[in-house]
Structure 1
Amino acid sequence: MEKSRPFRPGPVDTLWLTLAALAFAGLDISLYVFGEPTTGWAGPAAGVAMQVLFDLSLILLFRFPRLVGGLITVGALLMLASDLFSPGLLVPERQLTLMTVPTITPVVLSQLARLMDRRTVLWLTAILVVCASRPWDAQWNTTPFGLLSTAFPTAISLYFEARRQLLRSLRDRAERAEREQHLLAERARAEERRKLAEEMHDVVTHRLSLMVLHAGALGVVSADKAVRTSAEDIRREGALALDELRDLVGVLRNGANAEPRTLTGGAAGDPATLVAESTSVGIPTELTVHGDPGRISPAVARTAYRVVQEALTNVRKHAPGSTATVELRHHADGLEITVENTRRGATPDPALAGSGSGAGLAGLRQRVELIGGRFDAGPRTGGGYRVSAILPAYVPTAEGNA
């Protein structure tokens, strides 16, 4: 059985309990003023003093429930002893109410189910039921009212407490089931990524390796300088593509829990080259670099290169006549990239603007998010466009260790 959590009262609970204590104290004082006083050796105010003491003890109920419950039980036993052995000592011989236990008893019993274990509550209730109902001298004006003031509030309180615990248990079970479902979904996605990584490794990587080898061989055996230059370009780009593919395979295979490592594959291109190319085709572009570029791994550097490359390509396609800025901020946690361009100053070439698949930024977003980064692209206020990305310092790839 699930262990019940302790009840922690809030300011509202304490406030209403204090108000209830003062209200019952006022009620008992009113009964004393308009009713008969006690006539025993303890004096005429003995009964009301005891009742007010019990009423004010309600303020301490949340802090000391056992003490208050025991005090009310002792008070009920004293009232019973007064009626049996010394009438009028603590209870007037003719009362204005039918209560034969402390007036505050129903309120105390209604709260004890939340504050104490069930067995103790039932024992206290049983004692108070006997004191209130007087089964040895059952009367229509005392026994039913005694049961209503003792057994009834306890039964109602225990019912609502059991219902609250049941609802909490059902809610906890639903949350556990949701967490388990989420874990199963994550496991399924990890398995799909693993299968995709194996397919890419076995097929695509193998084909790219053959392409690089053939290009290298062509550059060695060809006598034509132009062919050798083209073959070397193919070999170099193929090697870079192979390194990037291995990075992506490593991310797919190991997920976000793999240990980061610094790759030793092909280096990324220099963003300064992209900036120079953009300037040479009529888009004045400025490059600003903050921090140490050596803090990031080559896999991250290659992704950053692709972000800058795609952003400047879009500027050339869609914003001729504009100016652009590229800002790279290196810090201990990673790299922030910002590429912005002003409003275009000429009409884009339809042939150039219509080239491509139209999925460059979407693919770039997927690539950035795959290595644990964030990507954002959209129009600037006042015209122009802005592409930004935040990349981690390291990518959890382990393909090179496979």
Structure 2
Amino acid sequence: MTDTVVVAVAAADLWYSYWWPVLTWQMVLTALGVLALFARRRWPLAVFALTLPSAWLIGNSAAALIALFTFAAVSHRKWLVATCALVLATCMIWPVDTQLGDIEIDSWWLAYIAYALAPAAAAAFLGQFVQARRELSARLEEITEAREHEQLMATQKILAEERAQLAREMHDVVSHQVSLIAVRAGALQVSTADAEAKEAAGTIRRLSVRTLDELRHMVNVLRAGGSGPTDLAPQPTLAQLADLVAGSGIEATLQIGPHPELGAPAERAVYRTVQESLTNVRKHAPGASAEVALRHEDGRVTVTITSTAPTRPTVPLPSSRHGLLGLQQRAALLGGTLTWGATPGGGWRNTLTLPV
């Protein structure tokens, strides 16, 4: 659109200069320079050269001034821009009279020189100004990006320090207490003669050891500080669901129906949902049993964890109350849903649905 307007302005200037209807070679030469303005962005110097005849023939030419401005806006050779401006001014100082073919020179030649130099210099200076403004804007964008990168690096440094501090706390406090639980449970397992107490102590010791392993991996992740991939243990998969259910410390069954192969994020979401659900049953529904069922239908994989009503009084335990909410966000990121609610028999049901 801009090129069309520019060419229209140059054509109007040409029409005003050649108002008579007779077609001459001068009109053809100047018209060629006007049409060349369509290519001024691609070949600015060549287009400027094509517009010089119009300045020499008719004097103050809009086409030549536009071509000089375009060339000055893209060229970094200031001496060449100045030379082009002088050449254009020279062509406009003594234009050829199209009717008589004589060179017009009189006592006003100083005024003619000033009248020719002013627009040529203005076009050159304006083009250089546009170029400088464009480069300054690009430089400001680079500075802004550099500052944003510095702020990001500073934020990452602060986060890394916080993660390192959290890792120390987990290692010094949580790991110590869980280790003590595992040792006491092992001692109880060896010393007691009660079969039920021995089995419970073995379950506590096994879960404590597993928790210590997971804490160790979490500490390694926190100490990595987001600097890149670390050499950690493989993430859980569906193949480990049977071991998870068997070692849950409650009476639980697992039913896995035919299903297509899932991606690693989906398998981790299924595993973590079952893990959190069985943990909630063990904490909040003593004596309850659970059933884990995985099935595939209508292009979606559904995992249901259903527990019965508790048979013993519930012992209050500390809880962050964020487990299911975090799993719900994980499911949403995978395009699925996680719902939960009480069952008619007094139990609880969590349902995870993920697209295949």
Specify the TM-score bucket, using the shorter chain as the normaliser. 0.5 to 0.7
Is the contact between residue 277 and residue 350 of structure 2 (CA under 8 Å) also seen in structure 1?
no
User: Which residue of the partner structure matches residue 258 of structure 1?
Assistant: 229
CA shift, 1:324, in A, is 8.3
CA shift, 1:178, in A, is 0.6
Amino acid at match of 2:324: L
Q: Distance in 2 between matches of 1:21 and 1:264?
A: 66
Q: Distance in 2 between matches of 1:142 and 1:108?
A: 21
Larger relative contact order (Cα-Cα within 8 Å, sequence gap ≥ 6)? 1
Is the contact between residue 375 and residue 389 of structure 1 (CA under 8 Å) also seen in structure 2?
yes
Q: Distance in 1 between matches of 2:89 and 2:260?
A: 79
Amino acid at match of 1:128: L
1:117 pairs with one of 65, 72, 76:
76
User: Which residue of the partner structure matches residue 142 of structure 2?
Assistant: 172
Amino acid at match of 2:259: H
CA shift, 1:182, in A, is 0.9
Q: Is residue 2:32 matched to residue 1:53?
A: yes
Q: Distance in 1 between matches of 2:270 and 2:214?
A: 12
Q: Mapping of 1:348-363 within 5 angstroms?
A: 357=319, 358-362=321-325
Amino acid at match of 1:310: E
Q: Is residue 2:276 matched to residue 1:310?
A: yes
Q: Distance in 1 between matches of 2:108 and 2:252?
A: 103
User: Which residue of the partner structure matches residue 288 of structure 2?
Assistant: none
Q: Distance in 2 between matches of 1:206 and 1:136?
A: 104
Q: Distance in 2 between matches of 1:230 and 1:341?
A: 23
Is the contact between residue 377 and residue 388 of structure 1 (CA under 8 Å) also seen in structure 2?
yes
Amino acid at match of 2:66: V
- With over 3 angstroms needed to count, the CA separation of the structure-2 counterparts of 1:315 and 1:153, relative to structure 1, is farther
Computed over aligned residues only, the root mean square deviation of the Cα atoms, in angstroms, reads 4.9
Cα shift readout 1:144-187 (whole Å, capped 9, x = no counterpart) = 54244322222223223322222221122112111221122112
Q: Mapping of 1:13-32 within 5 angstroms?
A: 16-18=2-4, 20-21=6-7, 24-25=10-11, 27-29=13-15, 31-32=17-18
Amino acid at match of 1:242: L
CA shift, 1:31, in A, is 3.2
3-state DSSP class of the match of 1:339? strand
Is the contact between residue 327 and residue 338 of structure 2 (CA under 8 Å) also seen in structure 1?
no
Q: Distance in 1 between matches of 2:235 and 2:279?
A: 28
Q: Distance in 1 between matches of 2:318 and 2:187?
A: 31
Amino acid at match of 1:258: P
Q: Is residue 2:74 matched to residue 1:104?
A: no
Q: Distance in 1 between matches of 2:92 and 2:294?
A: 86
Is the contact between residue 66 and residue 116 of structure 1 (CA under 8 Å) also seen in structure 2?
no
CA shift, 1:385, in A, is 7.0
Report how many residues are paired: 317
CA shift, 1:59, in A, is 2.3
Cα shift readout 1:175-218 (whole Å, capped 9, x = no counterpart) = 21112211221122122212211221233223322322232233
- With over 3 angstroms needed to count, the CA separation of the structure-2 counterparts of 1:114 and 1:311, relative to structure 1, is farther
- With over 3 angstroms needed to count, the CA separation of the structure-2 counterparts of 1:158 and 1:60, relative to structure 1, is same
Amino acid at match of 2:197: V
Q: Distance in 1 between matches of 2:36 and 2:17?
A: 19
CA shift, 1:128, in A, is 1.9
Q: Is residue 2:206 matched to residue 1:227?
A: no
User: Which residue of the partner structure matches residue 346 of structure 2?
Assistant: none
Q: Mapping of 1:252-291 within 5 angstroms?
A: 252-256=222-226, 257-262=228-233, 270=243, 287-288=256-257, 290=259
- List gaps (5 residues or longer) in structure 1: 1-11, 38-43, 80-90, 92-98, 280-284, 330-335, 391-402
Q: Distance in 1 between matches of 2:129 and 2:232?
A: 59
Q: Distance in 2 between matches of 1:379 and 1:215?
A: 35
3-state DSSP class of the match of 1:258? coil
Q: Distance in 2 between matches of 1:360 and 1:375?
A: 19
Q: Distance in 2 between matches of 1:305 and 1:72?
A: 75
- With over 3 angstroms needed to count, the CA separation of the structure-2 counterparts of 1:286 and 1:229, relative to structure 1, is closer
User: Which residue of the partner structure matches residue 211 of structure 2?
Assistant: 241
CA shift, 1:277, in A, is 5.0
Is the contact between residue 274 and residue 292 of structure 2 (CA under 8 Å) also seen in structure 1?
no
Q: Distance in 2 between matches of 1:244 and 1:236?
A: 13
Q: What is the TM-score when the length of structure 1 is the normalising length?
A: 0.61
Amino acid at match of 1:179: H
3-state DSSP class of the match of 1:290? coil
Q: Distance in 2 between matches of 1:124 and 1:102?
A: 14
Is the contact between residue 89 and residue 113 of structure 2 (CA under 8 Å) also seen in structure 1?
no
Is the contact between residue 211 and residue 235 of structure 1 (CA under 8 Å) also seen in structure 2?
yes
Q: Distance in 2 between matches of 1:105 and 1:202?
A: 79
Q: What is the TM-score when the length of structure 2 is the normalising length?
A: 0.67
- List gaps (5 residues or longer) in structure 2: 95-104, 286-290, 341-348
CA shift, 1:62, in A, is 1.8
